[in-house]
């Protein structure tokens, strides 16, 4: 559900970026209460994991579409809403800048759609409500399913509203929303199941991580080496190898665009849209999670060949998964470290 710049107007993009910056600033202020040395590596490793997981598109049977994990609920449950939102912002920035996934103008929209609704609405109002009487495997499953589905539904309707407010007449509200909501319901069910599986594993390994995140407390003396090691191994396996098996079908947003307008890609307007696209083409050294095509190679033909040949060893995807994971880990950990340093300096000033 990564929006391209062509889907939104500069005004909508600017407003959503301002809203995202505001939520991020608020999150930075609030996260200082539970930030400690253990939270920083956990943020980094979870950011790398979600980056890798988002590379795996799974087919939606009978539709010709595919979906991928959003990850906002996982981040909120394991890190808390504030650290979860900041981690999602880091993931999407790395994807947009270095992999050309999601537009630069649409960055604020993408962070809001994938991060805000999950971390600040679905997590506190649905997940925590379901598990308020205690965490069990059944409650984790029920809370994960319901919160993931509702969070993704809110993100999907937000995409529709952002395009309508941007004046995209080729995407009429009624038709577009009838395409977006059902397909993302199916994607949300899969995401809910994956979220429940991951959270249950962490809960059984280190329940304190989930408990501390829920109460916004520092991790303290809790040992999380086993959890960190397991997640890092998953990052390497998913990003380095399982990404070869990702579905080549259009994702839920692309599928909805094609069903609504007859084209999965909307023409990029001139002006700031083209300028930002040129910038993104220069910064994205692994566009669409693969090596740049050689001179004379046709991207469409290569994609068609890959689709017909099925899963094959793809060095570009493997490099993208590993490099992207490292970059996301570094940026997310740097964010956490910066907040921790600021917190210590603030304490010294107030002492």
One pLDDT digit (tens) per residue for the chain, 351 residues: 899 999 999 999 999 999 999 999 999 999 887 787 888 999 999 999 999 999 999 999 999 999 999 999 999 999 999 999 999 999 999 999 999 999 999 999 999 999 999 999 999 999 999 999 888 889 999 999 999 999 999 999 999 999 999 999 999 999 999 999 999 999 999 999 999 999 999 999 999 999 999 988 888 888 899 999 999 999 999 999 999 889 989 999 999 999 999 988 888 899 999 999 999 999 999 999 998 876 555 555 555 555 555 556 788 999 999 999 999 999 999 999 998 888 778 777 776
Please count the CA atoms within 13 angstroms of the CA of 259 that sit on its side-chain side: 21
For residue 296, give the CATH number of its domain.
1.10.1760.20
Range of the domain at 110: 5-350
Q: Considering its fold, how many domains does the chain have in total?
A: 1
Q: Model's pTM, two decimal places?
A: 0.93
Q: Which helix (H) or strand (E) holds 332?
A: helix 315-350
Q: What CA–CA distance (Å, rounded) separates 250 from 252?
A: 7
Bridge partners (DSSP) listed for residue 60: 65
Q: pLDDT at position 89, please?
A: 97
C-beta of residue 269 within 8 angstroms of C-beta of residue 168? no
Which residues fall within 8 angstroms of residue 36, CB to CB, at 6 or more apart?
218, 219, 220, 340
């Amino acid at each position: 559900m990564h929006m391209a710049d062509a889907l939104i107007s500069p005004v909508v993009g600017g407003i959503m970026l301002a809203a995202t910056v505001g939520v991020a600033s608020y999150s930075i202020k609030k996260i200082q209460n539970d930030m400690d040395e253990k939270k920083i590596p956990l943020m980094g490793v979870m950011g790398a994991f979600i980056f890798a997981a988002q590379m795996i598109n799974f087919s939606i049977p009978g539709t010709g579409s595919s979906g991928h994990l959003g990850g906002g609920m996982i981040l909120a449950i394991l890190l808390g809403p504030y650290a979860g939102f900041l981690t999602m912002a880091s993931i999407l920035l790395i994807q947009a800048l270095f992999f050309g996934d999601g537009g630069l103008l649409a960055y604020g929209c993408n962070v809001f759609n994938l991060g805000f609704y999950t971390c600040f609405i679905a997590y506190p109002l649905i997940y925590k409500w379901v598990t308020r009487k205690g965490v069990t495997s059944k409650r984790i499953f029920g809370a994960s399913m319901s919160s993931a589905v509702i969070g993704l539904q809110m993100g999907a309707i937000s995409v529709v509203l952002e395009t309508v407010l941007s004046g995209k007449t080729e995407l009429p509200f009624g038709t577009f929303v009838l395409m977006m909501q059902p397909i993302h319901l199916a994607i949300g069910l899969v995401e809910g199941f994956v979220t429940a599986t991951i959270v249950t594993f962490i809960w059984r390994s280190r329940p304190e991580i989930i408990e501390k995140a829920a109460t916004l407390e520092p991790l303290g003396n809790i040992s999380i080496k086993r959890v960190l090691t397991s997640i890092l191994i998953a990052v390497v396996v998913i990003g380095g190898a399982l990404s070869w098996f990702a579905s080549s079908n259009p994702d839920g947003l692309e599928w909805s665009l094609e069903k609504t307008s007859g084209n999965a890609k909307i023409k990029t307007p001139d002006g700031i849209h083209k300028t930002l696209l040129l910038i993104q083409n220069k910064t994205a050294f692994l566009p669409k999670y693969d090596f740049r095509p050689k001179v004379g190679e046709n991207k469409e033909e290569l994609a068609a060949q890959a689709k017909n040949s099925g899963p094959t060893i793809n060095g570009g995807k493997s490099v993208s998964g590993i490099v992207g994971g490292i970059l996301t880990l570094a940026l997310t950990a740097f964010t956490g470290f910066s907040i921790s340093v600021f917190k210590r300096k603030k304490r010294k000033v107030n002492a």
